[in-house]
Amino acid sequence: MKLWAAVVLGIAVGSFQLRVPTPHVGRDIHKSEHIENYTLPAVPFDTIKDIAAAAGDGTASPITPQSDPENLCMISVALVPGASDEVWEKARCKGANFMRSMRGSDREAGSLFRPPRDSAAAGFEEYDDIQKWGWEYASDEHVSDFKYWGIDGALRDLGIDTKCSDQGGSFECMTFHHGREDDSDYYDDSDDSDEDDHKNRIPIDQDTYNVDGRIYRKTGGHYCLGFEGQKGVIIAMDRRSPKSAGKKRSPVIEGDDLPALRASSDIAWLVWKKLSKDVQNLNYFLSLSICNEETQTIVSRAIQEYMPEAEAFVPWTGHEISTDTPQGQAILGTPNAQAFCYMLLQHKATLGNLYISRVRIFLDTREPNPGLTLLLFVEPVPANTDVGKPGNQQEARQIRRDGRDTSHLKLRANL
């Protein structure tokens, strides 16, 4: 205990920086996104006021860290400069609309899209659509190693398994590639078969696929995701959207030449639906190793506003912010969180009304520079929520007429 305290107190916060890694795969969202059988208590939120009160000052936690502090990277990292007012307001408005959409009915959620829709439901429900639209599944040993990602201790404290199925665990860790870039980071030099596959691979700018008679080109996008059905967990380790990757192709791939199935929320939903025995048992989302500068600045400002005394990003158990607050809603509007919101609001018919009630922000344990992690808690919408009542619908319509909240939900936000 003394060693832990010495490490925490003895490190100069300002001497460390958030990681901007160059890992085994490229980044988009991340560069442009131990108590056995222990579960978090189910807090019955009766009112919106109760939700805010439950969040407290952002430091209270029912989770007691059980990991050995001597074996963890206990570095705190100084907060980065906060987001500009323009960036902040855009994220806050989008997050507020996500909250209204998640808590409201499907029709109410659809009405907040631009242009308005009768339903917010997504168009993809068949797992085979993943392959149809040019996505390929690949295994990657780094993706399935939560110690590598620096969150194994946090998972244990939440009562969540820390191993993937290939290690005898309950997680399914999967990487989907929309074509493979000619990048040595994509394969292991020690694996001859992998190297042969790399040498024989079609150059990404020439790689194509056929959908209903039309030829499309692969973009180089990829999504690395983890799924655990027993505790209801979806983890985004690494994401690079086809839209972002397509900008690097020669010639550029954009517009109608992009795959129709390109949102990480859609990929995650199709896999979750196929793997989970109970799709409604969804309790946690995590976004790992966040290097997206916009997300970092928004999260930093959220912490500064919500907890004025806070000066740093801190290790697990981190800071916690209620999504009933402007600060929590701004975090929901960041590039690293919005895909999770879309997944909930676009699949109400199957999932029911679930919403993200709070966000926990903490550093992973990767050395020498830890990365930022978001843990989002998923809960059923309180039965007596006032979202969707006539007064709120009228207010939402008036806001649109007045031209306020210009950052209303935008369908297919290239997640």
**Measured between alpha carbons, how far is 151 from 145 in angstroms, rounded to an integer?**
9
What is the per-residue pLDDT for 139? 76
Residue 172 bridge partners (DSSP): 227
Residue 145 bridge partners (DSSP): 163
What is the per-residue pLDDT for 387? 54
Tokens representing residue 143 in the block: 């993706």
Q: How does strand 233-240 pair with strand 284-290?
A: parallel
Q: Answer whether 0.85 is exceeded by the pTM.
A: no
What is the per-residue pLDDT for 384? 76
Place of tokens 């208590």: 41
The CB density around residue 172, as the number of other CB atoms within 10 Å, is: 19
What is the per-residue pLDDT for 383? 85
pLDDT (tens place) for every residue of the chain, 415 residues total: 433 443 343 344 444 556 544 333 333 443 333 222 222 222 222 222 332 333 333 433 445 444 444 445 568 899 999 999 999 999 999 999 999 999 999 999 999 999 999 999 998 999 999 999 999 998 777 677 888 899 999 999 999 999 988 888 999 999 999 999 865 344 444 445 455 555 677 899 999 999 999 999 999 999 999 999 999 999 999 999 999 999 999 999 999 999 999 999 999 999 999 999 999 999 999 999 999 999 999 999 999 999 999 999 999 999 999 999 999 999 999 999 999 999 999 999 999 999 999 999 999 998 888 999 999 999 999 987 665 444 454 444 444 444 444 444 443 333 3
What is the per-residue pLDDT for 378? 98
Q: Name residue 149's amino acid.
A: W
What is the per-residue pLDDT for 51? 27
What is the per-residue pLDDT for 355? 98
